[in-house]
């Protein structure tokens, strides 16, 4: 209790490192009990048969031993669900033509699996449920948007068609309801409540650019019907060179964690604030890491901001900030 009170009133930051193999990548973080669950994939190299999804529980800097889902698995996304969590993960099925190992991502099945931390260990609960088959070419990346009604809006993406694909459901049962744009993948979603009735349910998205040598800005789109139809994507002033980004509402701000650079290397992992006036913009606040890739964020049940991403050494970095540390870094507005 004393430690919790000190974190509340004094600037607090924690940094953890997670590994389960030589190559660790593509993490997802979600609140769970008094800490967080973190999922990522690890192996000898990306896209070989040793690649597998791992899940660990972290609380007060103490990590549980990670539990492994299985061979040829990747792209985990964690969905908080009451006192439990649901893990979305993909598996290489190799049902199409492979020019290189990277093409294995085009032919993945996707699965949902219950997970929880119990009696000191992370447990995989029950049998997995198939979410999609490899002919749909789907993968997950960003966390779901949970609406005030409790409904989940889950952003997926089509690795072949190069589009965002939106699902809606209760966390376990989903249906596909819409698609976003072209040559843009891995959408991150947020809800912005404006002054008008229409804006109160407007879902916004920012997507990773994909397949263009000349477009260096993230594309923005919005939906007024719970993800079924989307506005024509427009380029923003938010730099993006084929890199994943992630948005989260916390501390009365819509935050964005992204690579604020035109460089091919995923440098300048930056935490900033999204501005909804006169077009979607992001005000950079602080460079969290000199290099970072595939960011994920959540707010834990203590109210702290959690960020995870891949380091230059292919290690998963997990950072925890309280509000005091946030204001010290970004400056009170």
Domain 12-330 adopts which CATH fold?
Neuraminidase (2.120.10)
7-45 pLDDT, tens digit each: 666 788 999 999 999 999 999 999 999 999 999 999 999
Rounded mean pLDDT, 293-314: 97
pLDDT value of position 201: 80
Cα separation, 170 vs 150, in Å, equals 7
Q: Which residues contact 163 (CB under 8 A, 6 or more apart)?
A: 157, 179, 180, 181, 182, 184, 185
Burial class (CB in 10 A: 0-12, 13-18, 19+), 117: buried
What whole-number percentage of the chain has pLDDT above 70? Answer: 93
pLDDT value of position 213: 64
Band the pLDDT of 333: cuts 50, 70, 90.
very low
208-253 pLDDT, tens digit each: 997 556 678 999 999 999 999 999 999 999 999 899 999 999 999 9
149-184 pLDDT, tens digit each: 999 999 999 999 999 999 999 999 999 999 999 999
Rounded mean pLDDT, 113-132: 97
Query: Pick the residue with more confidence: 194 or 65?
Result: 65
Domains of the chain, residue spans: 12-330
Query: In 10 A of CB 99, how many CB atoms?
Result: 7
Cα separation, 136 vs 108, in Å, equals 8
Q: Which of 12, 16, 13 is nearest to 311 (CA)?
A: 16
245-284 pLDDT, tens digit each: 999 999 999 999 999 998 888 999 999 999 988 789 999 9
pLDDT value of position 10: 79
Q: Dihedral sign for Cα 252, 26, 308, 209, please.
A: negative
pLDDT value of position 9: 65
Q: Mean pLDDT of all residues in the chain? A: 93
Rounded mean pLDDT, 293-300: 98
């Amino acid at each position: 209790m004393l430690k919790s009170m000190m974190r509340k009133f004094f600037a607090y930051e924690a940094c953890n490192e997670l590994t389960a193999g030589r190559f660790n990548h593509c993490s997802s973080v979600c609140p769970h009990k008094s800490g967080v669950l973190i999922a990522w994939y690890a192996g000898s190299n990306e896209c070989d048969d040793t690649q597998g999804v791992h899940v660990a529980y972290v609380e007060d800097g103490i990590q549980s031993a990670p539990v492994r889902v299985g061979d040829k698995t990747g792209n985990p996304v964690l969905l908080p669900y009451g006192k439990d969590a649901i893990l979305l993960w993909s598996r290489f099925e190799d049902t199409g033509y492979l020019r290189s190992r990277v093409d294995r991502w085009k032919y993945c099945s996707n699965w949902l699996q219950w997970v929880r931390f119990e009696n000191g260990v992370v447990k995989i609960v029950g049998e997995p449920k198939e979410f999609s088959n490899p002919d749909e070419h789907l993968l997950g990346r960003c966390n779901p948007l949970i609406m005030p009604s409790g409904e989940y809006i889950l952003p997926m993406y089509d690795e072949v068609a190069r589009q965002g694909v939106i699902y809606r459901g209760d966390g376990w049962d989903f249906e596909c309801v819409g698609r976003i744009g072209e040559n843009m993948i891995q959408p991150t979603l947020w809800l912005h409540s404006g002054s008008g009735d229409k804006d109160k349910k407007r879902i916004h998205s920012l997507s990773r650019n994909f397949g263009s040598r000349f477009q260096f800005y993230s594309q923005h789109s919005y939906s007024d019907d719970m993800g079924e139809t989307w506005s024509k994507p427009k380029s923003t002033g938010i730099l993006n060179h084929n890199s994943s980004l992630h948005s989260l509402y916390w501390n009365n701000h819509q935050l964005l964690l992204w690579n604020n650079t035109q460089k091919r290397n995923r440098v300048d992992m930056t935490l900033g604030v999204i501005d909804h006036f006169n077009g979607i913009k992001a005000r950079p606040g602080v460079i969290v890491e000199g290099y970072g890739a595939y960011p994920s964020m959540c707010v834990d049940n203590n109210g702290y901001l959690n960020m995870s991403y891949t380091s230059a050494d292919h290690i998963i970095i997990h950072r925890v900030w309280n509000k005091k540390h946030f204001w010290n870094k970004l400056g009170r507005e």
